[in-house]
Amino acid sequence: MTGAVTHVKYGYVDAAGVRVFHRSAGPDDAPALLALHGFPSGSHQYRRLIDALAGEFRIVAPDYPGFGFTEVPDGFEYSFERLTDVVEAFCAAIGLRRFVLYAFDFGGPVGMRLAERHPEWIAGLVVQNANAYEEGLSDAARGFVAAGPDEIRGLFTLEATRGQYEGGAPAGSVAPESWLLDQHLLTGREEAQTALALDYRSNVARYPAWQAWLREHRPPTLVVWGRNDPFFTVPGAEAYRRDVPDAAVHLFDTGHFALESHLPEIAPLVAAHLRQSLPNTSG
């Protein structure tokens, strides 16, 4: 599918007062993919996609504040606007100015805010179970948006984390280290994650603005979606065609974390989309 296997690099970049951990691979002048992770994950969710694509493309995956291995100063205020501030500063710090955006889950609201700020950076979109439409919200998702702090803290248990990965996925298709690492890295971050969960309603309020952005800019868009996602439903995937009529929508018989179970099917689609969106273009 791609060229020779390349080494993955791990490191930190100072961005907006935060030490952003990131993993990256591929030639610096290759077509670039910025991969934004979801909850309760981190850049490690893209580990296998990086291995699959980095022989041909530049793949960059940061951890947000409050996730993964990123280090934040005392007093950091957690909101989706602040996460976007940090990702924006991170891109500027590493010289990433034109890329396809891979948005999953929380990567949707962070990525769309980034796109609003810098439409010139966005060569295309890969949307994987990242909702931007009211009809894509399941009852469980609507409950999450309306939940108070006590209800939200119930999401930070091992059982809940495992359920997010395995719910709707084929039996035996999700490696246990994925949800075990997430749970380990949630420890001590409950207040940060609660603040972000309470701010999630600001994302739903911005859906009309993001839909308008999609209609105006019509970025080449690939939608890859686990059809059994208990949070973001199939109508939310199909709705992207309303604003980007040429969007390619692919549904897979799995749950929220579709890359865990269906990487062999998804990676070639992402590679083809990168070639189409960034032909002969450096990152």
Q: For position 154, what pLDDT does the model report?
A: 86
The reported pLDDT for the residue numbered 282 is 44
| Rounded Cα gap, residues 25 and 53, in angstroms | 9
> Across the strands, what pairs with 126?
102, 222
Q: What end-to-end distance do the CA atoms of the chain give, in Å? A: 20
Block residue for tokens 């080449």? 220
Judged by DSSP in three states, 123 sits in: strand
Exposed, middle or buried, 52 (CB in 10 Å: 0-12/13-18/19+)? buried
Catalytic machinery residues:
256
Whole-angstrom distance, CA of residue 103 vs CA of residue 159: 25
Helix residue spans in 207-257 (DSSP H): 207-217, 234-238, 240-243
* Whether 225 contacts 234, CB under 8 Å: yes
DSSP letter assigned to residue 64 = P
- pLDDT value, residue 280: 64
Diameter of the chain measured on Cα atoms = 51
Three-state DSSP at 125 gives strand
**What is the mean pLDDT, run by run of 10 residues, along the chain of 283 residues?**
72 98 96 97 96 95 98 97 98 97 98 98 98 97 93 92 96 96 95 96 98 98 98 98 98 97 98 92 46
Rounded to the nearest 10 degrees, how much is the dihedral formed by the CA atoms of 37, 194, 137, 131? Answer: -30
**CA gap 150, 191 in Å, rounded:** 11
Q: What is the pLDDT of residue 6?
A: 73
pTM of the model: 0.95
Q: Given this model, what pLDDT does residue 275 score? A: 97
Asked if 136 and 203 count as a contact pair (C-beta separation under 8 A), the reply is: no
Which whole-number Å values give the CA distances from 122 to 23, 54, 187, 208, in the listed order?
A: 20, 19, 34, 19
